[in-house]
Structure 1
């Protein structure tokens, strides 16, 4: 009797580098709504308890990196996967550090929801006629720290001068909340108000075609952004605005990255 291998799956680990299981559950809910082929298997990971419960500044970024890298680099867990998505909307050092580790079939394919959102946004912007204002994308995020952190990160990722005018990037607007607030005890009316205000400021920057949710904890809050876009741009135009969840963008990108790696890398 002989057997025949029929399907080669892609195993992706969605990595929450903070220690909030509640936030991971929110990300899982968003993933369940995705239309994915059966060959793509998604798994989630929540950082150990000594990682920050909410990543709100540079110290939290570094602390989460140290805790998660120590845990994963010594456990061998990553050898079960083809790709890893770092589900923290930041310039997170885990993206580079984990890319050097072995996965199930060679080096891991790794990206972050920040990087994936940039690439997805740019790929979806429509080029306007010559002489027309550029179509833009921008980010709505949590605290004030992230405005400069993410704006500088965008410039670095795209390889452009941070002091130059990036005509397609509308910038970063913050709500003043933390990542934990979106799934904590804060009054939902406060969350709505602050997210509406930040989204409104971003949409005022011009022809914004894509609003990126700059925090994994924002998963499920698309309706607030959509209603603000309709208020600002009218129903027809507001319904055309893309509202991007970085986790979904990252999974879609990683699936294609793994397929491309298998296609183009020497066997």
Structure 2
């Protein structure tokens, strides 16, 4: 009897580029709630202690990129994986830098939770009939003030559009004033709920917002706060229809498909 092996597993490494183990645990909890294929294996990585404990501005982004890139490339660990998800909601250099490297079977499939969230939102918002009702929108709720300009510019660059031109589908970025690390200890949970709820309601005031993106890996598991804010703002029926995008989940799902597509479409 002759047998053939027809399926291969997909091994995804989820990289937390800051050194907070607590934030990695929050990301892991979000992944455990996903309905994944049996052939998908997820592994997590926390940056060494030299990396910032919370990525709060551009300097932290660059520092974390240098530490993680050096650690992952010197160890040869990436050869074990098919794909990498960079779990920092920013235009993170690791997405481009790791995408140039090889994994277990050729080029790594790499995305960040920022890029995956943009693609997920655009695929999910409704396109109404022309000139009937205002365009449906998506937007981002994130942490500190720094990220407003960074993410707004990032969306324009990623989509290849002029940032000075109006974007009818993007409602913009609203901030809580918190740091990423605040979501995992040290800050009163009620204060976090208040700030996240307020930022969400400001975003929802900008039009027919159908998708709210949680713009921080540290927000994993806090979608119930955004849901409550949407119900307060829109009422139960419309509020329950708002789609809340968790970038970690969006990223894992996108990478599963990227790996499958590469196997289907690349030359043998």
Matches of residues 158-237 of structure 1 in structure 2 within 5 Å? 158-237=159-238
Q: Residue deviations 1:217-241, cap 9 Å, x none?
A: 0001111100110111110000000
So what's the TM-score if we normalise by structure 1? 0.99
Which residue does 2:266 correspond to in 1? Answer: 265
Which residue does 1:89 correspond to in 2? Answer: 89
3-state SS, counterpart of residue 71 of structure 2:
helix
3-state SS, counterpart of residue 240 of structure 1:
coil
> Shift of the alpha carbon at 1:5?
2.0
Distance 2:3 2:57 in 1: 53
Matches of residues 1-267 of structure 1 in structure 2 within 5 Å? 4-131=4-131, 132-267=133-268
3-state SS, counterpart of residue 92 of structure 2:
coil
Q: Unpaired segments of 5 or more residues in structure 1?
A: none
> Shift of the alpha carbon at 1:21?
0.4
Q: Work out the number of aligned pairs and report it.
A: 267
So what's the TM-score if we normalise by structure 2? 0.98
> Shift of the alpha carbon at 1:185?
1.4
Distance 2:186 2:128 in 1: 44
Q: Residue deviations 1:80-116, cap 9 Å, x none?
A: 0000000000000000000111100011010000000
Distance 2:23 2:3 in 1: 42
Distance 2:194 2:147 in 1: 19
3-state SS, counterpart of residue 110 of structure 1:
strand
> Shift of the alpha carbon at 1:3?
5.6
Q: Residue deviations 1:204-261, cap 9 Å, x none?
A: 0000000000000000111110011011111000000000100000000000001001
3-state SS, counterpart of residue 201 of structure 1:
helix
Distance 2:6 2:134 in 1: 50
Distance 2:210 2:129 in 1: 15
> Shift of the alpha carbon at 1:59?
0.4
3-state SS, counterpart of residue 115 of structure 2:
helix
Distance 2:5 2:242 in 1: 43
Displaced runs of 4 or more, over 6 A: none
Q: Unpaired segments of 5 or more residues in structure 2?
A: none
> Shift of the alpha carbon at 1:7?
2.4
Aligned-pair Cα RMSD in Å: 0.9
> Shift of the alpha carbon at 1:6?
3.9
3-state SS, counterpart of residue 253 of structure 2:
helix
